[in-house]
């Protein structure tokens, strides 16, 4: 059996699921609902749950399958993937299987180094406010092929808006009619290998079969520089459009110019999907009301005396951390950075810190915090204090001692993923809140 294939085509196949994170577990539920008992393999399986370790019999078991549904976190460039394909095993992703039988006019795929989660949430919120049934898929929602995504007796959504990562795109043989790219900067180099391949993989979403419109942020310099990878269907969202959209987008209550761009991209996606109300500013303003900002995306969790604690744990690369700093221009900021090291160049973040006029301290955390701190020191030549710590708790303690005198903001915007030290960004955010609460009651 060879790609492209769909979920329904797996009913009579021998199937393995490789990687049992959130998406992998959704794939297992889908297969079992179809009557298929999959082979379960994970790089680091938990004991006693019938899961084989990849390097201890798991890869051999997958070699005996017709199809392997690979979780996004497993790089398509790993040698084990090549071994499976050389053994005539079709290696697929869950989203790719879904897209093979989805109505491409009822799905939109949104990617970007920064902004894809917020833009996805905005598109769903606007659709819902305009009277449509819409659901988010991806990191901020359930995978759309998960049986649990639609409850028993519930009407399936009219539209799926899928937050689509660079990990998923290489496994897509086709995409939705409308796709979007919110931003571009180096990221995920441990998965893709090089910046060039990361860019090529992410932007290939725009040239997949089925795409008729690729909505792209026209103010992003890197996207402009990589226009040759965007294909023939580009619709640039210009600064002029963002200015015109400001009247209705104000109803969202989101701070910062980056969120204004996200709102315009979301509106352009809806217009591309044929939503007539997307061209009616009055209807959009009504639909925009009541939007709740994403947790861990520049979200104030409370104050202790004059110190504001802001959780931006979803910031896992340079771009969102720079955007978070701009959201607090003119205010003292204690910036907490560091996490899993993906080999990203932090020079531009160092320069962004150097450009701040308000008092700033950078407090670094493992594993790559020291490397970020070095970029700040090089850009600042000692003008901004940088403190290296061994944990999030220690970082919060140092930041609070500084902020007690300077006031302002303690901003957890790590510019790196959470895994290794925490289960996910949510666990890191919870640890931040606990560390803050040790200094007083958050109000």
In this prediction, residue 256 has a pLDDT band, given cuts at 50, 70 and 90, of confident
Which helix (H) or strand (E) segment holds residue 214: the answer is strand 213-217
- Record the pTM: 0.84
User: For 384-416, what is each residue's pLDDT tens digit?
Assistant: 999 999 999 999 999 999 999 878 999 999 999
Phi-psi region of 95 (alpha: psi -120 to 50; beta: other; left: phi over 0): alpha
Q: Are residues 152 and 252 in the same domain?
A: yes
Question: At which of 28, 62, 93 does a domain end?
Answer: 93
> Angle 318-327/257-272 helices, nearest 10 degrees?
120
Q: Are residues 283 and 329 in the same domain?
A: no
At residue 322, the pLDDT reads 92
In this prediction, residue 48 has a pLDDT band, given cuts at 50, 70 and 90, of low
**Whether the Cβ atoms of residue 409 and residue 334 lie closer than 8 Å to each other:** yes
> Angle 392-406/425-437 helices, nearest 10 degrees?
50
Residue 352 counted as domain residue = yes
Domain count, the chain: 3
**270: containing domain:** 102-288
Domain of residue 324, CATH code: 3.90.190.20
Residue 379 counted as domain residue = yes
Q: Are residues 247 and 353 in the same domain?
A: no
At residue 1, the pLDDT reads 58
Q: Are residues 174 and 211 in the same domain?
A: yes
Residue 1 counted as domain residue = no
- How far apart CA 133 and CA 125 sit, in angstroms, is 10
């Amino acid at each position: 059996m060879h790609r492209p294939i769909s979920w329904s085509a797996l009913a009579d196949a021998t199937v393995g699921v490789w990687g049992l994170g959130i998406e992998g577990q959704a794939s297992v539920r889908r297969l079992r609902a179809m009557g298929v008992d999959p082979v379960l393999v994970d790089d680091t399986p938990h004991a006693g749950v019938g899961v084989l370790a990849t390097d201890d019999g798991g890869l051999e078991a997958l070699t005996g399958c017709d199809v392997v549904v690979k979780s996004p976190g497993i790089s398509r460039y790993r040698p084990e993937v090549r071994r499976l394909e050389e053994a005539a095993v079709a290696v697929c992703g869950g989203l790719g299987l879904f897209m093979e039988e989805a109505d491409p006019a009822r799905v939109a795929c949104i990617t970007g180094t920064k902004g894809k989660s917020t833009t996805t949430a905005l598109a769903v919120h606007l659709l819902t406010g305009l009277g449509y049934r819409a659901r988010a898929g991806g990191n901020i929602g359930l995978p759309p092929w998960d049986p649990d995504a639609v409850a028993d007796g519930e009407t399936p959504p009219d539209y799926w808006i899928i937050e689509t990562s660079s990990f998923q795109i290489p496994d897509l043989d086709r995409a939705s009619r409308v796709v979007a790219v919110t931003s571009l900067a180096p990221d995920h180099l441990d998965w893709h290998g090089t910046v060039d391949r990361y860019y090529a993989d992410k932007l290939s979403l725009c040239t997949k079969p089925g795409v008729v419109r690729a909505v792209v942020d026209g103010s992003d310099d890197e996207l402009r520089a990589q226009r040759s990878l965007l294909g023939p269907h580009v619709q640039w969202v210009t600064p002029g459009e963002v200015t015109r959209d400001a009247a209705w987008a104000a109803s969202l209550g989101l701070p910062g110019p980056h969120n204004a761009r996200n709102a315009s991209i979301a509106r352009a996606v809806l217009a591309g999907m044929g939503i007539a109300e997307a061209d009616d500013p009055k209807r959009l303003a009504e639909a925009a009301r009541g939007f709740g900002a994403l947790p861990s995306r520049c979200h104030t969790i409370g104050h202790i005396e004059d110190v504001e604690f802001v959780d931006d744990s979803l910031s896992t690369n340079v771009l969102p951390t720079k955007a978070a700093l701009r959201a607090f221009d003119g205010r003292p900021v204690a910036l907490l950075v560091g996490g899993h090291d993906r080999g990203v160049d932090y020079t531009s973040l160092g320069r962004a810190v150097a450009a701040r006029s308000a008092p700033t301290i950078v407090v670094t955390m493992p594993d790559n915090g020291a490397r970020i701190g070095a970029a700040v020191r090089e850009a600042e030549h000692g003008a901004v204090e940088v403190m290296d710590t061994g944990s999030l708790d220690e970082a919060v303690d140092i930041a609070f001692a500084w902020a007690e005198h300077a006031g302002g903001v303690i901003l957890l915007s790590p510019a790196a993923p959470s895994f290794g030290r925490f289960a996910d960004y949510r666990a890191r955010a919870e640890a931040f809140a606990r560390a803050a609460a040790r200094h007083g009651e958050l109000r």
